[in-house]
Amino acid sequence: MTQPRDHFRQEFIAFAVEKEVLRFGEFKTKAGRLSPYFFNAGLFNDGMSLMKLGEFYAEAIKNSGIEFDMLFGPAYKGITLVASIAIAFAKNGHNLPYAYNRKEAKDHGEGGVIVGSPLKGRVLIIDDVISAGTSVRESVELIAANGANACGVAIAIDRQEKGLGALSAVQEVVKNNQIPVCAIANLNDLLNYLKNKKDMAQNLHAVEAYRQSYGVD
């Protein structure tokens, strides 16, 4: 976890391609666009890949400089992500509290919608990608309702494409919630990866064309 940032990001892209979490073809996005690539973090579905994913997240979070006191993973994908990241930090001597939410409040036992550590202080939200920003907005509101403050968001990949307007979905989250967003890798990293793979020239051209139509800086 001490590699240069660019190398680290390239390693993550290669890892995602190897695990077929990052796939190429033709995929319809939530915005109705036909994307030449698709990222599905749910396919990091075994112990080794989840462990490595948590380490990639931890490295990206450290590199971001975001100051935080605990981690929060929105249900459902965020639950395994936040646990793996907490373990990755603990392995490096930084023991962090973490929590996640239930989709529906539990009316017996301990009750409530929050599982894990009580939400306190500066809370870093963990997600896989940001599409419409709905999950982040709901998390920010839930964290505030529990007397804590959302201080940022960490995601796996930033698609760097237009959201509802001229801004990207990530830029919209930053603007609307006044918090920073960090990512393990982004579209630039994906393009750099493809440029070094002669057998993936067709995918490179497709991703470059998609960026011409929908990309933002």
- Which tokens is 20 given? 């077929």
Residues 173, 154: Cα–Cα separation, whole Å:
12
Q: What is the largest CA-CA distance in the chain?
A: 58
Query: Which residue out of 28, 94, 106, 195 is catalytically annotated?
Result: 106
Please indicate whether residue 106 is annotated as part of the active site: yes
DSSP-H helix ranges across 22-155: 47-64, 77-91, 134-145
- Pairing verdict, β 22-28 and 34-39: antiparallel
List Cβ neighbours of 134 (8 Å cut-off, separation of 6 or more).
none
For this structure, is 108 an active site residue? Answer: yes
Phi then psi dihedrals of residue 19, to 5 deg: -85, 0
Candidates 126, 147, 136; CA nearest to 176 is 136
Question: Which of 7, 30, 103, 108 is labelled catalytic?
Answer: 108
**Residue 59 and residue 154 in contact, taking contact as beta carbons nearer than 8 Å:** no
**Is the Cβ–Cβ distance between 99 and 117 less than 8 Å?**
yes
H helix and E strand count, the chain? 7, 8
Question: Measured between alpha carbons, how far is 190 from 13 in angstroms, rounded to an integer?
Answer: 7
Residues designated catalytic: 106, 108
